[in-house]
Structure 1
Amino acid sequence: MRLLFTVFLLSTCLLLTAQVKPSLPVKTTVQPRVFDGKMILQRCSVAVKTDGITAVTFIELEFYNNRDTEIEGLYRFNLRKGQVVTDFQLELNGQYREGSIEERWKATNAYNTIVGKRIDPALLVKEYDNTYSLRIYPVPAMKSRKVTIALHEVLPIVANEKTYLLPFDNNDVTTAFSFRFEAIIQTAKPFFRSLPGSGAEFTAIPNGFLSTAEMHSVVLNKAVDVVLPLTATQILVTKPAASKFYFALQLHKELSSYYAISPKTVTVFWDASASSAKRDTKKEISFLKQYLLYHQTKTVTVIPFRHKPFDTVVYNINSKTIRQLEQYLTALTYEGATGIGRLNFATVSSTVTFLFSDGYNSFGKRMPTQGNTLLYALHSAPADSVYLKAVAGSGGAVVDLRRLTIDEAIEKTSQAERMLMAVESVNGKTIIESALPVKIDQPILIYGSMHVPTDTLRFYYGNNQLASNVEVIPLSTASTQVSSGIDRLKMLMRYREATTSNDWNDVLDFGLDERVVTQRTAFLVLERVEDYIRFNIAPPKDLEEECRRLNYVKKDTRMQRRAMDKQPTETNLNSVVELYNQRIKNWDASATLLQYKPGAKPVVVGPAPVRNEMQQQIGETSSVQTALQGHAAGISIERNNELSEVVVVGYSSAKKREMTGSVAYVQQRDVFQGYTNIGEVLAGRVAGMQVTGNSGVPGAIPDIRIRGAVSLGASAQPLYVIDGMPVKAETVFQSLNMNDIESITVLKDASATALYGSRAANGAIVIQLKKGKNYTHYYYRYRKYKMSEQEDVEYLQEMKSVALSEKIAMYQALKMEYGQSAAFHVDMAEHLFSCGFNSNALAALMTAMELVPNDFYMHRTAVFILERWKQYSEAEELLTDLLSVHAAELYLYRDLAWVYYQQQKYQQSVDLLYQGINVNFGSDEGRQAGLKAVLLNDMNAMIELHRAKLDLSAINPTLIKALSADLLIVAEDNERSRLNLQINEPGVQSMVLYGHPSKNGGFVATEKNSAYVYGSASGIETYTIKTASKGKYKVTVNYYAGRSYNSTSPSYIRLCVFRNFGKPDQSIQVETIAMDNQYGEIEIAAVGND
């Protein structure tokens, strides 16, 4: 039996062996890698040491990958505001390697390039605010990786307690959590408000307290939150360094926060702008008089200002001069704009300064020049209190005379807030790093470095120039405690300000210099020395010897980066040159194009012949003629008939007397109180109109039918238009104030459809508001019209009807009704200037700016008008301030350059245009190329005319090529709206349009590159003709930028006509055309070339 079984077994084995085929190599299945994989926090160890001022935290984290494939681990965590990541390490081969601080983009690039190659990188970055992310690659399957993170912070103080908080909010379940908290220089026992796990307590140790804990299976869903009660009034800690000691001194002062003052000299800045007319100046003057008498002040200096100071009066106070002061302030006229930013408090030497203003700054830069004077800002009307507080500064105050009696106001301004003004080293060997002055209502922190073991510090308390008391505090390194974190105090105190800088280079340099994580810097750990060399990364200490052996020294690219940042961005000018070359082709198809070479420098044969721009050689005549009105240099811009011919196609107008029964007109006097909506006003006044109430609910939209129902189910509601802009019915019936309406026009026939298309198939209700009624005594109709034949707005009719001697009085009277309209004051300014009242015209223009403070478009309107008035100094001041705030607005570079030019400041003009051409817009460069081409054209014309007077050593010579022309017309809207410039050349019926040059060589160019705006023109548009014919060139714009319901500033077009552009006999003529409520193809000028 046993034999038979053996035979059977052998037979079976032989049979199976015969049936098995030769096997192929087995293909193993590789699990795909996982990126951004969540890591499990397996172990966490936290060690904290505080010294009464700073805290240093050391965290060790072990992450575990519980997957069956390797992952790129990702872990996000939060820190408390003020905590700064100062160190990072990754465990490699059983030892920790320190991280290198690098530019974030470079560290990220290096990390992403290496990931996937089974080489160990780790990256720690700040994502936003206080959120950080940690990435490690690889984390092998079922294995773990370790890192360490170090934090520094200044312990915040709240209600006589210092607090420490380390957030844990990821709900990680750790197998082991260890904790150690050592608080030195701590007299009162700390306690926990929260802690992962439970049971930890503080025990006393020499000079402090200690808490330790070892816990298992802990859920990290609570912060480590420790309270350190304050008892000491003074803490002094030091830390030795190579040749000095870092020190930090924290004081808890019990001085009163305010102390009495009795000023003998006072300076008063008195706001006399238009908005200040609402102030209770009688109460303000009464306060000032009684304040001066109460303190027996000897001298008061009064500086009234509008858009800038316009007078200075000094009074030696006595019973007579106090009345003179009152009379002077009472007699001031309140008009014009507010230019608080033009005040200079640094020139004030008086004990106390008063600023009487509502704080609504409307002209130029925002903040004034600060000084050392104690400043109180007082107002007696609604005011911008936040702005006034910023102007008053940390030591000053805002006084609201509406809420205080005069006695209370005098009491408040007769005391100064006590501050620590300065700290002085007696032997001069202690360097103070703290920013001063500081308030004393919180503990004061003074820090720096001592270069001798002992010193004495003098503390000066007071306010600005007023010192109230001096305190002396000795310093000694022998009797103080050694700190662990105060050597980073300077960095910690600067961190928030430095990392919120608008200059990314500053943020980057701060992070690199201080070796901390910011939004521009990150910690990176690499495994191989080759990768540190490849990506130009600073090596860790354990690789420094190998790097020296390989002769690797990290290149410091900081200076190169800074230098590149300061250099003109010529590498981005290719798109500008491309558009400029297109202009050259249009100008002369056979002309040589620009052969642009970035970085090219001019060939200098000898010294550049630079002359004083205000001087001329003997026998040399000026090549610039400027004519702003009438006729000049062969150019005529006719103001009576042909200049103001306005041809409107589609959106046109007709006078009231030309209208037929198809239009119903309701004026303001017919719209009286008691009506709640326009449906009630129009009911029964318009033939054929049906007005049916809807539900009777306030704000409900009534059913209004002008022509009857069109069809079943179709809406029969008319189109609603406010100041030329179609709006929803809800806007009319739920948002419109009936008292704002000037007139209502109901269009019932085909004119409504011709004007607004199918939207007005059921008619149109056109509402004209009081604030938008300039040039609107006409009604829409499909026809041509001349603006010069239209009736003036009522206030202009009244102004023109009075004698010259009554103009100012009439303006003051009209202000009672129209004074809140910026357009009214602009119109008044234009009229008064035409009558020779230049100063009054300027005041009216400034008042318009006051009504729309900080409105960029209103500022440009003012610039247009000032330039036409030849008020170049005022225009230059305004543009300089605007450019300081809007450094990327290329329009302002061009505006200011031409203002310079018309003052014969040719070098400044060319330099500013070149500066504008080289503003770096980064990825948005293409959208700015068209406007830069305009600036390049202007610059080349100036160079062509004044080359002998200019220093061109800083300008790339491959950009210089002038396009001289008999005639150049430049049109632009103050709001940069689309104009669609069209020119009707003499004797030619067809129009010259963008993209369609004339047979005579005239062409229209736009600011924008058609590749970016799909061929639409916008902003600056120009017409150029190299050889102009005799006759009139009619200028038309296709304008659809009328004012909207919420508009505030008026719409203007500036028209600059250059005759013989870029030639020795060049002349410039500037006109401004008001465009409020204009829609359609409008002929705005007829330029003569005789």
Structure 2
Amino acid sequence: MPVLKVQRAESNQQNDAVKLKKLNIDVQITGNIATTVMTMTFYNNSNRILEGELTFPMPEGVSISRYALDINGKMREAVPVEKAKATEVFESIERRRVDPGLLEKVEGNNFRTRIYPMPANGSRTIIVGYEEELNFNNANALTYHLPLDYNQPIETFALKTTVFESILKPELGEQPDGSFNLKVNGNTYVGEINKTDYQPKKGLTINLPKRNNLPEVQMQKASNGYYFLVNVFPKSESRPRQWSNQIGLIWDTSLSGLQRDTKKELELLDLIIKQKQNLTIQLGLLNNGFKNSGTFIISKGNWDDLKKKLENIVYDGGTNFGSVNAQSFQADEYIFFSDGLSTFGRNSIALYKPVNTINTSLKADYSTLKYISLQTGGQFVNLNAISTNDAFKQLGQENLQFLGIKNGSDVRQTYPSMHVKVNGHFSLAGILNGLNTDFVLQFGYGNSITSEQHIQLNATEHALSSIDVSRVWAQKKISEMDIQYEANKADISVLSKQFGIVTRNTSLIVLENLDDYLRYDIAPPAELRQAYDAVLKQRRVDFQERKTELLNAAVTMTKDLKTWWNTDFSYKEPIKSKNDYPIPVRDAIDAAPVVTQNISATPPPRPAGTPPAPPRVERAKESEAKGQLNEVVVVAYAAQAKRMETASATTIVRSQSISANSALQGRVAGVSIQNKSTTTNVETQPTIVIPEFKSDKDYMKNLVGNPDSAYRAYIKMRPNYKTTPMFYFDVANWFYQQKDSVRALTILSSIADLDLENADLYKTLSYKLKQTGNYDSEIFITEKVLQWRPMDAQSYRDYALALADAGQYQKALNNLYKVLTQSYNSQIADRDQGIEEIIISEINNLIAKYGSKLNTKGIDKRLIQPLPVDVRVVLNWNKNDTDIDLWLTDPTGEKGYYGNPKTKIGGRISNDFTSGYGPEQFMLKKAMKGKYKIEVNYYGDRQINISGPTTVTAEIYTRYATGKQQRKVIVLPMAADNRSGNLVGEFNFN
């Protein structure tokens, strides 16, 4: 069932203002291939523009191959493009408030389309289509199933089903209501219903019985030969197998386990135990970690104790398959109940005895479960597709397998190409080189051939099929390659783009106009192709999106930083005399000190009605206006100071500079570095004090008493907040404060199970993992974000810093440098202008601390410039299109912020990021004595997804890159419209 999520742009709260107004479903079945096309019209009855996210869980082996969106009142077909590029282009165009459409595959066999904009009091229409290979049920009939469990009436509902070339009449196993029936017209059967204000009671299930066991052949002409699809029905004998006496039962207890059909799972386990009668089961519970949960001796089929334990499982936490290994969990055979989604760790299990994987979840990673079973010699059972009894029979017997092809020299690229089980039906797709050929399919058990079936292909005798056989072939090949995705992802990308199939690394995209297809170098659908080709020849260079690197800007920035670092900022503090007489006003300059307080005052609020995250040009104007004021103030301050030079005063003068080479040791990038000590006035480290974050949400009032009772309260409250990310964040934070880090991490990791491929949620997770020292998990989470969003400089940076946290300094350095050498489109390059300043500081910090252990030959030597500082604060956040500002108030009372980026004592604020993810940085080479106060100001964001409020993380360093640095990390959720500054931390230099 497709599920629609819609959020209000201004509040991030889920919205029920959008309804499915029209639904038209067309189903066509030919042989064992069913094509389903759904046309959905959604109506937004609110007076605000909204964005929708529609998720489709697809059956095993099924991929979406058609997507269309209404553009200017006409349906436009999508075209395939690399997934990362599709996301980048979609977000770029979305900011222009036009009509892109994107359909992508996310974790497991789940598909997601984002629809924007959904106009106020208006509608949007999308088309989604997919081909499905039908399988046999236990009554020797092919089965097609369409779920129709909609939660509200649909204003206009239409369903049409056509079964072509069927000798026997199809049977209805389930139908929406009594009015649906299949009528015959020759060998074609058609069923149709049209309803208004209709809510189907049941789904549609069609069984297509087979009269004989003769092979069925379908062919499609290609540019070179023919694509073919062969269906055969080999007879299989039942060969029972014996279950082991020592079984390891792995039960996935992560939060997503709440979506599994545990009743069916327990029924299957009951059948296995009752057949075996006497055995030993070792129970392992898996979520973000793995726990050996006891050994159960089963006698005479009595497993009441184990069953009771499984029925009372608390599902919580993310999922980390990598925490399971043979050393800690030994058995002769394993049964693994899971959806296959490893959201908090690697998706591989270090077990070497047969692992039988069982899935009952609609949102599942079938490829991972298949790979685990194939790799270990076990079986994969999709308990969604078959009954519990059929699953029990499958697991309890040795299955007939397809073993290969004999005499197949005239056919190529046949799939499946590996051994696969056969359950009364086998389907093979491939390419025929000529017009006709003969070959033999071989079947058997293990490696022993027990039967063969002769196949004849003849293009002149077989009528060409009405279905797209080539797409079925491509889908079969992709499905097989996807089992080992990393090894095959390049081939998958080529194939999926050619045949328009959505995969892990290929999406379908719809753009508004020809200029967009030209600008982003994306071949358009057929309706625009002629115009695209004509313009492309003449104006391609003018239209294509420019790509740029940050390296040249980084070289320039390094020079700027070096100049700043070598500048001696002397500060003379005016001494107020005992009699503080007013100074006569003689000119405009003398008058200016009256407004000096504006430097340290809170920046003025933005005008009423100013939208969140204003464009950079508007902020530039705002900063320019403030900058002009600051120039007057600084000049006035200088004039005032000059008049007081003769007065007796106690001054604080910065006269000491630190050698630019002091922090480097050994040889770096071929440059000889001499070891010099850094001289500082103060040897003691200042104490950094960060406030303890405490949520004020109502649910926090129930977390009282000891951690055990508080955890029970959390589980009791959770159904009311199960899709609210900040609920898990706040509760986890409470347990961290109670020093119960085990429970805290489990609750926190649940965020990973809330949504598929949600980078915002994963960024929030990574911040908290950094703060709490869970660096291995931080690496996994940031690497996932990098896979999903390689177009963002921040993805490389976050991953690099996670690697550095875990002590992988060379990989950290390499990925930091990648930030500067990747190509970015002009919009992202403008959005992230100035990030090179932060990267330069972090590259040189790594080199300063670990230079003797690092290979820096690949780093441009012009960037290597030691920049040790007394104070460094860096701030970044989890959401795109967000405007957050860093403020730092020094002991003089002066506030450094975007409007005052250079303070009198030498403080330096990096470029102001008014959209994107940041980061923003404050650095001070030489700290004067006194108190420093750090704040963050949140202007707003334009995000409209389920990720909850924007979350920021601040890293506070003293003695940065000196070899004596200390760091404190704080993670803070931002309250909407809180523009008065949130306290991040304080420290004192003595």
* TM-score, normalization by structure 2: 0.50
1:505 positional shift: 12
* Cα contact 2:321–2:342 (8 A) shared by 1: yes
Task: Report what 1:1065 is aligned to.
Answer: 964
Query: Is 1:387 equivalent to 2:292 in the alignment?
Result: no
Query: Is 1:574 equivalent to 2:552 in the alignment?
Result: yes
C-alpha spacing 1:331/1:234, structure 2 compared with 1 (3 Å): closer
Percent of pairs identical after alignment? 17
C-alpha spacing 1:248/1:1022, structure 2 compared with 1 (3 Å): closer
Query: Is 1:775 equivalent to 2:696 in the alignment?
Result: yes
Deviates more, 1:885-894 or 1:1064-1073: 885-894
* Cα contact 1:236–1:247 (8 A) shared by 2: no
Task: Report what 2:844 is aligned to.
Answer: 940
Task: Report what 1:304 is aligned to.
Answer: 285
Task: Report what 1:949 is aligned to.
Answer: 853
SS at match of 1:936: helix
1:1021 positional shift: 1.0
1:825-849 per-position Cα deviation (integer Å, ceiling 9, x unaligned): 4333223323332212222222354
* Cα contact 2:796–2:815 (8 A) shared by 1: yes
SS at match of 1:1086: strand
* Cα contact 2:229–2:473 (8 A) shared by 1: no
* Cα contact 1:263–1:351 (8 A) shared by 2: no
Task: Report what 1:271 is aligned to.
Answer: 252
1:2-60 per-position Cα deviation (integer Å, ceiling 9, x unaligned): xxxxxxxxxxxxxxxxxxxxxxxxxxxxxxxxxxxxxxxxxxxxxxxxxxxxxxxxxxx
* Cα contact 1:236–1:481 (8 A) shared by 2: no
Residues of 2 paired with 1:1084 and 1:997: CA distance?
20
Query: Is 1:398 equivalent to 2:373 in the alignment?
Result: no
Out of 271, 282, 295, which is 1:290 matched to?
A: 271
Task: Report what 1:1026 is aligned to.
Answer: 925
SS at match of 2:364: helix
Out of 886, 896, 901, which is 1:981 matched to?
A: 886
Task: Report what 2:428 is aligned to.
Answer: 444
1:706-728 per-position Cα deviation (integer Å, ceiling 9, x unaligned): xxxxxxxxxxxxxxxxxxxxxxx
Q: Could you tell me which amino acid in structure 2 is paired with residue 984 of structure 1?
A: T
1:818 positional shift: 5.5
* Cα contact 2:340–2:364 (8 A) shared by 1: yes
Residues of 2 paired with 1:992 and 1:1061: CA distance?
20
Query: Is 1:894 equivalent to 2:945 in the alignment?
Result: no
Query: Is 1:972 equivalent to 2:891 in the alignment?
Result: no
Task: Report what 1:86 is aligned to.
Answer: none
* Cα contact 1:432–1:449 (8 A) shared by 2: no
Query: Is 1:1004 equivalent to 2:937 in the alignment?
Result: no
C-alpha spacing 1:398/1:497, structure 2 compared with 1 (3 Å): closer
Task: Report what 2:337 is aligned to.
Answer: 356
Residues of 2 paired with 1:995 and 1:287: CA distance?
68
Task: Report what 2:772 is aligned to.
Answer: 869
Larger Rg belongs to? 1
* Cα contact 1:1056–1:1068 (8 A) shared by 2: yes
Task: Report what 1:73 is aligned to.
Answer: none
Residues of 2 paired with 1:369 and 1:846: CA distance?
22
1:311 positional shift: 3.7
* Cα contact 2:254–2:315 (8 A) shared by 1: yes
1:246 positional shift: 9.8
1:971 positional shift: 1.7
* Cα contact 1:583–1:1005 (8 A) shared by 2: no
* Cα contact 2:874–2:920 (8 A) shared by 1: yes
How many residue pairs were aligned? Answer: 634
* Cα contact 2:879–2:917 (8 A) shared by 1: no
Query: Is 1:813 equivalent to 2:713 in the alignment?
Result: yes
Task: Report what 1:1083 is aligned to.
Answer: 983
Residues of 2 paired with 1:921 and 1:953: CA distance?
24
Q: Could you tell me which amino acid in structure 1 is paired with residue 417 of structure 2?
A: L
Residues of 1 paired with 2:714 and 2:454: CA distance?
71
C-alpha spacing 1:235/1:968, structure 2 compared with 1 (3 Å): closer
SS at match of 1:858: helix
* Cα contact 1:944–1:962 (8 A) shared by 2: yes
C-alpha spacing 1:274/1:1007, structure 2 compared with 1 (3 Å): same
SS at match of 2:884: coil
SS at match of 1:944: helix
1:865 positional shift: 1.9
Task: Report what 1:660 is aligned to.
Answer: none
Residues of 1 paired with 2:408 and 2:263: CA distance?
54
Out of 453, 460, 483, which is 2:443 matched to?
A: 460
1:965 positional shift: 1.5
1:340 positional shift: 6.2
Residues of 1 paired with 2:381 and 2:476: CA distance?
26
Q: Could you tell me which amino acid in structure 2 is paired with residue 1088 of structure 1?
A: N
Out of 233, 237, 242, which is 1:254 matched to?
A: 233
Q: Could you tell me which amino acid in structure 1 is paired with residue 761 of structure 2?
A: M
Listed as ranges, the matches of 1:585-984 within 5 Å are: 585-588=563-566, 634-639=685-690, 643=691, 774-775=695-696, 794-795=701-702, 798=704, 802=705, 806-817=706-717, 820-821=720-721, 822-851=725-754, 854-923=757-826, 924-975=828-879, 977-984=882-889
Residues of 1 paired with 2:755 and 2:397: CA distance?
36
Residues of 2 paired with 1:236 and 1:633: CA distance?
81
C-alpha spacing 1:930/1:269, structure 2 compared with 1 (3 Å): farther
Listed as ranges, the matches of 1:209-224 within 5 Å are: none
C-alpha spacing 1:1018/1:258, structure 2 compared with 1 (3 Å): same
SS at match of 1:1022: strand
Q: Which structure 1 segments of 5+ residues have no match?
A: 1-80, 83-127, 130-155, 160-187, 189-229, 240-244, 512-517, 523-534, 536-568, 592-601, 610-619, 624-630, 647-772, 778-791
Listed as ranges, the matches of 1:126-205 within 5 Å are: none
1:942 positional shift: 1.0
Task: Report what 1:547 is aligned to.
Answer: none
1:915 positional shift: 2.6
C-alpha spacing 1:845/1:860, structure 2 compared with 1 (3 Å): same
Query: Is 1:470 equivalent to 2:450 in the alignment?
Result: yes
C-alpha spacing 1:251/1:885, structure 2 compared with 1 (3 Å): same
Residues of 2 paired with 1:1047 and 1:250: CA distance?
43
SS at match of 1:1037: strand
1:593-619 per-position Cα deviation (integer Å, ceiling 9, x unaligned): xxxxxxxxx99769x99xxxxxxxxxx
1:973-1024 per-position Cα deviation (integer Å, ceiling 9, x unaligned): 333532221111112345444553111111111364xxxx5xx796211111
1:1034 positional shift: 0.9
* Cα contact 2:800–2:812 (8 A) shared by 1: yes
Residues of 2 paired with 1:288 and 1:157: CA distance?
29
Task: Report what 1:197 is aligned to.
Answer: none
Out of 297, 306, 316, which is 1:335 matched to?
A: 316
* Cα contact 2:285–2:291 (8 A) shared by 1: yes
1:898 positional shift: 2.5
1:443-475 per-position Cα deviation (integer Å, ceiling 9, x unaligned): 53456899xx9998662357xxx6796334689
Q: Could you tell me which amino acid in structure 1 is paired with residue 901 of structure 2?
A: H
* Cα contact 1:575–1:926 (8 A) shared by 2: no
1:1028-1072 per-position Cα deviation (integer Å, ceiling 9, x unaligned): 112211112222449999865454332211222222222222222
